[in-house]
Structures are given as C-alpha cells and as structure tokens.
Structure 1
Amino acid sequence: MSPVILSFCMLSLLVAVSKTSADEAAGDHCPLASHKMGKIGGVIDYGSRVGKEMKVAMEMAAEDFARSSCSKQLVLQIEDSSGDSARDAFFSLTLSAPVSFENNGVNASYRIAAAVELVDSNQVQALIGTMSAQDTGHLSKIDKNIKYLPIISLTSPAITPPSIAHQLPHFFQFSDHITFHIQCLAAIVGHFKWRKVTVIYESKNGFSAYSGILTLLSDTLKTVNTEIEHHSTFPPMSSLSNPGAFIEQELIDMRRRSNRVFVVVMSSLKMAVLLFSKAKRLGMMEKGYVWIVTDEIASLLNSVDSSVVDNMQGVIGFRTEFARTSKPFKRFRSRFRSKYRSEYPEEEEYCNPSIFALRAYDATWAIAQTMKNSTGKSSSKDLSKGISSRIFRGVSGVIRFKNNVLWQLPWFQIINVVGNSYREMAVWSPESGFSKTLEKRNDVNSSSSFEEWGPVYWPGGKGSVPRGWVISEKDKPFKIGIPSMGAFREFVHVSFDQANNKTCATGFSIKVFEATLKRLPYDFPYEFVPFNGPYDEMVKQVYNKELDGAVGDFSIEPGRFRYAEFSQPYIDSRLVMIVTTKSVKKITWMLKTFTKKLWLLIVAMHMFIGCLVWILERGSNTEFEGIGGMIWFSVTVIFYAHGQSLRNSLSRVVVAPWLFVILVVTACFTADLSSRMTVSRLEPSILDIDTLLKTNASAGCNANSFVGQYLTNVLHFKPENIRRFYSESDYLEAFETGYIKAAFFVEPHAKVFLGKYCNHFTQAKSTFPLGGFGYVFAKDSPLVFDMSEAILKVVESGEMRQLERILSSPNCSSDALRDNSSLDLEPFTGLFILSGSISAFGFLVAILRMGRNLQILSCIQRVLTKRRILRWASIHFSKENSTIPKTKDQVQTSTSVELELTNFAH
C-alpha cells in the first residue's frame, strides 16, 4: 500500500472518530431540529417529597425527549406552588380578579396563582402538576382561555366532583380514581371483619371541599358491615403553628374511645411521619391497635429513613402496582437515582422513585409526543384531542384516557411494614379482588385471602387478628338492664343488699351471663340496673342508649331487631300451650291399647300367612280342601302349628317367625292393658289450639313479654280473650276459677311451670318455634360477636348443661308425665319386616311348585340343563314326590316329568 493511500485512510478515520465524539458530546446523532416545539408548564410543591420526585422526573422526560427527537426547542417551565413567586402571583391575582379562594385554602390558592402566571406570562401550551379539579375549576373562572388548555393532574387519588367534571373537557386525571382506593380499603377492613373504624385525613387537595368523599367512604364500608365511628380532620401542616401539639391532642382524644382501627387517608407524607411518631410515643402502636394507610403514604415508604419505618411497625397499606422488574423501569430508576442525588444530596440514601415520579415522567413525555406529532402550530383543542385519542407506553405502564380519566383498572399491592422495610403480601383489583401476585391475577387457583400467604405482623408483634376495640375510659362501667318483675324468678331474681348497698341478681340467665363473661378475652366492667316494665320497653332503653345492654329471659323475635341486636341464643325456645289435666282410669274398649294401623296390620299378616300355609299344606291334609278349609285354617293356623300338625317343612319356616311376633305383641298388649286398668292416667283437657279457638275460650300469657302480640297477630286470638298475668301464682288462680282454659309460655318458662305443677297441668300438642333466649345490645355493638362466641364456648364446655339444672324440679313423678298414646307400629317394625320377608319367600316357592306341571317348568328345566344342574333337579323332584301320596293322574304326570328330565340329563 502506498504512503499516500495510507495517509488518506488514517485521516478519514480521525475525522470519523472526531465526528462521533462530537455527536456523543452533543448527546445525539442528528442534525439541528428543523421545527419548533412548544412550552409545557408544571405546578408542584418543591418542599414535599412528591414534589421533588416530580420535578426530577419531568426534567428527565424533557431531556430524554429532546435527545430522542433531535429537538432543543421543548421548553419546560416549572413553578413552585409554595414558593415566593407563587405567593407574589397570588397577591397580584387577588388584587386584579374578584375571585374568592376561601374554600380551597391557602395552598390551593397558591397553586392557582402559579398556574395563571405560567399561562399568562410564560405562554405555556399545557400544564402538569398537583392541581385538583377544584383548583382547575377556579382557574377557568379567572381566565376563559385556560378552560381549553390541556391540564394533566397528578393528584392522587383522583377526585372529580360531578358538578365540575362536565365543565372541564380538557382536564385529564393521571391517577386512579378515589373510588378504587376506597374499595380496596373496604376489602381489607372487611377481610378482617372489623365493625368500626376511625378515619383520619388531612384537609388538602379539595378533600374537605368535596363532602361526598366521606359519604362514599361510609357507604362502601357499609357493604362489608363496617361503619365510621369517628373521623378526625387535620388541617394542612403548613397552616398550624404547632403541628406536633395539635396531632398529639387529637390522638389522645381518639385513644379515649373504644375503637382501635385507624385509617389514614388523603394525607401528606409530612403529616404521616409526625402522626406515627406521636402515636408511638402515646403507646398507640402497641398490641390491640390497627393502622391502615393508603397509596399516598404506602407508595413513599422507600423514600423515608429508618426512624420513620421503625415508628410504623405493623402498619398495613396498599400502593399502586406497576411492573417493578421491567427493563424500562430499571433503566429509569438508575438514571433517576443519579439525578436525584445530584439535586438533593441530603436525601442521597433515600432516592428510589415512586409511582408519582413515574407518572410525572410519562405525563411530560405524552404531552411532548403529542406536540411533536401535531402538524404546524397546534391549538389547545388539538393537543387535548391528541392526548385523549392516543395510547402511550411509559415507565408506569400503558397510558390511555377515556372520558379524561385512566382507562385501565388499577392494581394495588398490599404491604405490611416489618423490620427495616415492608413485606409484600398480595395484590388487589376491583375485578379480581385479592390474588397472590400480579402474574397470577388470572389464576383460578389463586387464593382470595392474602392472609394465607404468611402471618401478618401487627403493632406489638405477631399474633391473632386484633379485635379492633377495647373497653375505653368512657365505657366504664357498662349499664346492663335486668327485669326486676319477671314472671319466673328461676331465670332472674333481683334483690337489694342493704349491707353493701348494691343490687344483687341471681337466676339461670344471670349465671349464664357470668359464665360467658369469663370466656371474654378482656375485662368487662358492668353494673346491673333493675327495670320494672315490659321487656319491649327495656329493649327500647338500649336503643335510646340509656342502657348499654340487657340480660334476662329475652326472646329473640323479629320486632325487636329494629331497636337492638341479640347475641347467640343461650337456650332454645318454642311457644307451648299449657292446659289442665284430666284423669282417665276406665277402659271401655281394650282395642285402644293398639292403634288402628297396628290392629289392621296384625289381622292382614295373620290372614296372609294362614292362606300361604294352607297352600303349602293342601296336598298333605285333605281336610282343608276348598275355600272353607282355607278360611278355617287361616283362623286356626297358630293353634294348628302349635300342635305340630304341619307336615311341610316350608310351612314350618314361614310360621316360626310369625309365632315369635305374636308372642312379643301379646306380651306388650298384656303389659299396656294392665297399666291402663290399674294406674291413673292424665290427659290434656284441651288437645290443641284449634279446639281452643273453636270454643272461643280465654288464654293467659305473660304481661311483660311479646306473647300477647303473638297470640293476636299470628295465632288470631281475639284481643278480649287474652288475659295477661305478672306471676305464676296468677295462673293457678285463673285456672281454678275457669278464668282461662289455657296458658301460653315460652318453652323454658313452661318447663319451670310444669316442673312445679305437673300433677295438675300438662303440655298440649300445639307448639310454635321461636328464636330462643339471648342478650340484648345496641346496634352494631362489637359486644354482640364477642358474647356470641363466648356463649358457644360455654355450651361446648358442658357448663350450660350443669346450669340448666337450676330449672329442673324434683316434684314431678314419672307416672304423672307418662304418655297416654296407644302403642303404634314403630316398636314392632323390625319383627314385621322379618316375618313378612320369610312369608314372601315362602309364597314365591309355593307359586313355583304350583307351576311345575305347566310349560313354564319345561322352559326352566331346559335352562337348568344348560347349567348342568338338571340331574340334581331330577333327583330332588323324585325324592320329594316319593314322600307325598299321589293320585293316579299325579303319578302319571310325575313319571312323564321324570322321564323327560332323564332324557335331558342323558
């Protein structure tokens, strides 16, 4: 190669390397842009962690877009909504525009003023920032041109009041709507079955202005049987002179209440850090407490130091889920960390990007991409149309707007703060509910409960799910009403201890209540309050909160559920009718010993067996030929068999079990008949309620119970025929004088009454199911669940059976309570089945024997011949025929059959 050529090659290589180095230094490999890009404005809070992340991300997006599109004309102008320029703009705006900002607060007013400054002074074509729908609504009133300016709101969660949504056609909410946040929150609360929560929120971003948020939260929680017991509104931290003192006092007030489930929504990170610091100092991060945080806090846990995480041990939260393992996110995170460290070196250790940084980056990129794709100078309407019609793929995922809100449904990751970080437990979506991971969201085998994937670390450490409430200082002691004038003292008996100056209560209901309290996992201070009046009035006292509960023999019935809730029944109950008894000694007809069904079955079986034995014995005993012989043999079959005159072995097999049945039935008949003739029997004077209604007789009931209304409304008694009494002695006098013919008691009361007076009263056949006895508590009281669980423990332990002995009485003899009904078929069912089966078999054999001379027998014999058992059949028939005397015709027939069988055999 010549030196000239070599020199030329070396020069070309140096030029190429120099050009490449120059291009890399410039950051791109493209010529100067030939078209002009627009301006994008940003309104964020530089003083907040979210604002810092958004600022860095938006600047990254502008740099990346300029590098990728070969353009240096994209201008990004960001205003600090809490800085001096925003304040100056606010004051100048209030002097020139007659607009009131009182409802939005100072911070919102600064945001609006900063946005106006960007639009009017800097001529931006689109806005990005933390402006809410309320802010934008006020902004459009100040400047009509702003009404059509594309605005992408990064406020999370998205809140759009219905009255404002249609007024802002170019307002885009790049965040999940608050409805989904509230649904996820309700799903967590409902999973652990907490019945009451306390809501804590910061009045920012229009939360207090849109009063429907609290209503939406309350309605959603009601779908999981939960209600908001108390809500506490914290003003913005910047408006408080001493935020720590304010938060501490609020927490002290909440600690005095019984509820222990706290939900922090719509809160800034600054407020949450101070809140949990004060909560830990006040002992509100210990065992028994529950804390739940929403996306605004949970998404920033990577951005706080270890002291903040230490104060939040056991907190449950949910954050927006995205592809954290994707390559675009990993590249973005690496560059974000580098840039964030350079701008905020004091936060170098905690510089991981959150979902808010990703969305700020994607929003800036989406607007810039729309501007680039627009031909010529694009108007605000063109930009809005381009944003709403395009699908963007960013680091936060697929971005698509429908009706100016995110089109895709969100996924929230459920986390649990443990140790120096947090544990990822599950993901949740509005469509699928809980699932284990985002990858298994469509797995049919995926569990619907995130608790199954490991124990939850609660405040105070691992353990069972906190109950969510305790007995607070305000609840001591509980006022428990008891009936002082109950009809039966065996259930509740009230007395006054003058020595100790206190009310004493005893009885079955009180003993069960005391046993139940021992099963509660906490102390239950209470005092009994005697109540002299109807039970329904005592239930209403609980409804009016004059009583915290009521203990006694309260029947659980539907009408009372309007005013209170009941525990699990501690004893079952029915409505029974009690009447006087009448003595029965004389036996006119012995037939009453058995029921008609049993008599008919005995006669039918006897005749059937008699006829069957007659068929089997007819060839051996000529005296029983004809219909008359059959009838006589059927009548005398037992005596005939007893005299051992039966010659056929099959007849003996049929008759033997029937003889045993007759023996047993005869013994029972003799025993029952002897009892009826010697022992005085008691029968109800009135058999059932129909008889009582037909005779228009009067009935008595407890004056303090619901039974009177039940008799009138359900059983259709005339009101004038119902007599009400206050004590059991009143019933005795009323029965003696004929004032009433029957009395209606709930079953536990009836057992006590009959235990004392069983020689004179008995229970009629009419009974009506009821709900049992239970304890009364206020509606939505958490005591209902705990007491019900404790009652079941008392029942399972066997203690309830021992306590029921209080209601028993030794005064009743077993003879007086004996049943007067006749003997039915049930005791003899097995015997009749046995005898009937054997008789049926004998009948089948008899039919086969009768048909052996017919052509059917020949067919059977041909089949048997093929089975090689004809020889056995031939021998069997020949032996049997030899033992039975035959007529001349029979001998000929038998001989022909034997010859035929022999021929077949050979």
Structure 2
Amino acid sequence: MNTWQQAALAAEIENQAQVPVLSLAASASVRPSRRLGRPTLIQMGSNIYEQVRCISAIVRSYHWRGVIAIYEDDAYGGNAEMLTLFSEALQRVGSEIEYHLSLPPISSLSDPRESVYQELLKLLSTQSRVFIVLQSSLPMATHLFQEARRMDFMGKDSAWIITDSISSFLDSMDTSVIPYMEGALGIKSYYSKSNRPFLEFSAQFQKNFKSENPEENNTQPGIHALRADDSIAVIARALERLASDDTNTPKMMLKNILARNFSGLSGNIIFEGGDLSNSNSLLFRIINVVRTGYKELDFWTQDLDNPFRREGRDKNSSRNTTKVLDGPVIWPGYLIKRVPKGWEMPTDAKPLKIGIPAKTSFDKFVKVDEAEAEADKRYSGFCIDIFREVLKILEQNYSLPYEFHPVIGTYDELVDFVYNKVITPISSL
C-alpha cells in the first residue's frame, strides 16, 4: 500500500482476526501503530517524524526563516499530523511554514499538468522560495517539478528539499525525469552499500531489472526493494518458529514477527513497541540531485545537537547544525558559489511593506504628514532618514521597491502587524 493511512485501514479490517499487516509506507507518528490502537499493524517504512527533524536541521543550517510545504493529499486525513510535526520542528530552529500547498491525489485528476499549474499559481504571491516536498507519489512529483521549472520557481535564489517518498526512487527512476529535479536536496534512508549481502542482492536485482527494463540506465535497488526483502525475511523467520510451536495461530505469528531481531539489507531489524526501531546511528543520507542522478553530501544522525556527520569521520566526531552541509551543493539555476537567499526579491508589483507608527510622542524620530502631496516628504524624521540611507547602499546591488504603511496603535500592535503580514493597517480595522 502506498500510504500509512491505507495500511492502517487494512489493519482495522484484520484486527479482529489478529492477522499481522507489514507496511512499507512512511508513517507520521513517533510510534504510530501502538498509539493508534492497531496492534497488528507493523511499521517497516521510514518515519516522517525523523525526516522533518532532518529537514528542519538543514533549514537551520542555511538560516532560512520561512518555507513553503508541498504535499500530495492522501485523501485519508494523514496530512494534518504531518504538518503539525513539521511546523513544531521548524519552530524549534527559528523558522516557520509561510504557506502549505496541498495537491489533489493524482488518481483524481484528468489533467495533472494543468492542475499542478493552477496550484502553483497560488505561490506567486508568497515571498519564501524554500520549497519542501513533504509527501508525494512519483508521478505527481514529476509533474510538480516540470511545472515548477517552467514557471521559474527553480530560479537561482530558490531551494527545494525532497523527502524519502521521492528520493528513494532516484536509483531506478526514468533518467529523463531527473534533470527537472536538478538542484534539489534530498533525504534518503541510510543503508550500507558495502556489505556482502547487499552486494549479492544488488547484483541479482540489477540483472533482473535490466532484463525487464533494457532501456533504463538506473538499475540500482532502492530502499523499498531492500525493505521488501527484509519483510519477507521477517515473515520467513517467524514461520520457521511457528512450525516448531504447537500454538499455530495468527496471534502467535504476530508475536514471532515482533520477536525477530537480525541484520537485514536495510539495516538492523529490531521491533520496539510494534514498530521498526531507529537503531541505526546514521538515519539518512543527504543528497543533491544533479543532471546525471545524484551525489551524496552528508549524513544525518539522531544526535539532537550535532546531527550532521561526514562519511569516513570518526563516529565520535560530528558537525554543528549552524554549519552548512558538506558540498559543494549545486542549487537550482546551477548556483554553486553561494547559498540561495530562499526568498523572492521585492518588485514594483510586490514591494517591501514597511510598517511605521503614525502617531508618536516625539516626531523627530518618525513623523507622518498625510497632508503632504509628495510621498518623499510625507514621511520624515531620524529613523526614516537612516532607513533611506541604508537603502541607498543596498540598492547598489539590489532593486528594493518599498511602501510605507502608517499604523495607528501601540508599538506591540505595530510589531504584530509586521509579524502577521497583515495588509490592512490597524487604523482601518
């Protein structure tokens, strides 16, 4: 099943008979199956909670203050919890979701390209240009990136981050699709590529894949293939134990599955409270999508203080979250020498809005004269003069159109007006 909600629905049906349901789909909760009262539902997939922690660490490392969250609606109501987890993770690093864009399930669309285009039009009025694709099917992600590139949402000052729901398919994705994603950062579940079981499995997988898809160059097994193999191994080991047990029941089968601990292709298979434990010290690879595929930049660990770690470093050595990833990163628009600002520059159509107090007790700092016909003379005072002098320096490199918005009210109300980005001044509310 493609989503955790679909797996949960299947588990609801099987609960009475105590038939185990193993799900490879990503889950949103920290301990989903136990907390939601579904004892037969076993998590074998990634946990979105760990992924949003990883994304928030990346956002913090580049000092982006606002992001746009994009996800494909799963029609099962699982997105609310995912957004809450992401919002809380961002708040802990001093950032926030400026806007969240919900794309309809692709199965419900007669013209996916046009639908995605209409949805992306909603982002033209937003300032943030840091796009986080939290959840999406591969067909929807393909349309999303094609339209985003066509509409110039992948310019030089934008940043895109994709989760495991997309990046896990990069190993076997159609190579004609990958260039549309060029410049995006991605999170991929970590697994060792150097041990003997993986090398043997990979060789057989590539042989089979190539025979069935001779036109494809990407033939590496991804995390889904590894976890599918591990799931079969879990069931096989449980059946072996069940064969030697007099109590041959679905309940005993579930107990045997949860008791199986071994080293699988995707990592250590250890169940904790009914769900796959995040026992691996390295949880995710941070990758950069390039035209020919992707390159690995760094690792992310469970360490709250220092989650980034370089490959080949001693395991006791780690990186601080205020530092950027190992690189160099190729950003959208083939930006290499600097980090994207992550926000759109003001234009005449969308100028900077500067909130200023309309009534002050000392007008030598700020004075608003609404009777003055010329805009330059309508606003005066020491603070206004300083603002304009600073702007002269900045405009040597940037064009920064702006508008003053006088506000009648307390200083706290003015701060709230700016923070909430309220278009209508308090004086007219």
Matches within 5 A, 1:166-565: 167-204=37-74, 206=76, 208-209=77-78, 211-342=80-211, 344-345=212-213, 348-374=216-242, 375=244, 378-410=248-280, 411-431=283-303, 433-437=307-311, 439-440=312-313, 442-444=315-317, 446-448=318-320, 451=324, 453-460=326-333, 461-470=335-344, 471=346, 475-476=350-351, 478-483=353-358, 487=362, 489=364, 491-494=365-368, 500=374, 503-520=377-394, 522-529=398-405, 542=418
Read off the aligned partner of 2:108 and give its amino acid letter.
S
CA gap of 1:427–1:534, structure 2 versus 1, over 3 A, is: closer
Secondary structure at the aligned position of 1:253 is classed as helix
CA gap of 1:212–1:161, structure 2 versus 1, over 3 A, is: farther
Query: Aligned partners of 1:537 and 1:466: how far apart in 2?
Result: 32
Q: Is the 8 A contact 1:542 1:548 kept in 2?
A: no
CA gap of 1:168–1:138, structure 2 versus 1, over 3 A, is: closer
Q: Is the 8 A contact 1:195 1:226 kept in 2?
A: yes
- Cα deviation 1:445-495 (Å, max 9, x = unaligned): x43357363322111121322221123677436254354665353x44555
Q: Which runs of 5+ in 1 are unaligned?
A: 1-43, 46-107, 109-129, 551-906
CA gap of 1:381–1:496, structure 2 versus 1, over 3 A, is: closer
Query: Aligned partners of 2:260 and 2:69: how far apart in 1?
Result: 39
Q: Is the 8 A contact 1:496 1:503 kept in 2?
A: no
Give the superposition deviation at 1:199.
Answer: 0.6
Equivalent residue number for residue 668 of structure 1: none
Read off the aligned partner of 1:430 and give its amino acid letter.
Q
| Aligned residues between the structures | 415
Q: Which runs of 5+ in 2 are unaligned?
A: none
Query: Aligned partners of 1:165 and 1:497: how far apart in 2?
Result: 63
Read off the aligned partner of 1:269 and give its amino acid letter.
L
Give the superposition deviation at 1:505.
Answer: 3.2
Give the superposition deviation at 1:426.
Answer: 0.7
Q: Is the 8 A contact 1:503 1:528 kept in 2?
A: no
Using structure 2 for the length normalisation, give the TM-score: 0.86
Give the superposition deviation at 1:518.
Answer: 3.0
Read off the aligned partner of 1:527 and give its amino acid letter.
E
Query: Aligned partners of 1:448 and 1:430: how far apart in 2?
Result: 13
Matches within 5 A, 1:605-624: none
Give the superposition deviation at 1:177.
Answer: 2.1
Secondary structure at the aligned position of 1:469 is classed as coil
Give the superposition deviation at 1:500.
Answer: 4.7
- Cα deviation 1:375-420 (Å, max 9, x = unaligned): 1673212221111112122222221111111123351000112231
Give the superposition deviation at 1:370.
Answer: 1.9
Rg larger for: 1
Query: Aligned partners of 1:480 and 1:373: how far apart in 2?
Result: 70
Query: Aligned partners of 1:540 and 1:402: how far apart in 2?
Result: 45
Q: Percent identity?
A: 34
Query: Aligned partners of 2:324 and 2:30: how far apart in 1?
Result: 34
CA gap of 1:484–1:248, structure 2 versus 1, over 3 A, is: same
Q: Is the 8 A contact 1:256 1:474 kept in 2?
A: no
- Cα deviation 1:321-345 (Å, max 9, x = unaligned): 1111222111111101122233x33
- Cα deviation 1:267-302 (Å, max 9, x = unaligned): 111111111111111111111111000111112112
Bigger helix share: 1
Query: Aligned partners of 2:159 and 2:186: how far apart in 1?
Result: 11
Which is bigger in relative contact order (C-alpha 8 A, separation at least 6)?
A: 2
Query: Aligned partners of 1:348 and 1:539: how far apart in 2?
Result: 56
Secondary structure at the aligned position of 2:157 is classed as coil
Query: Aligned partners of 1:541 and 1:262: how far apart in 2?
Result: 25
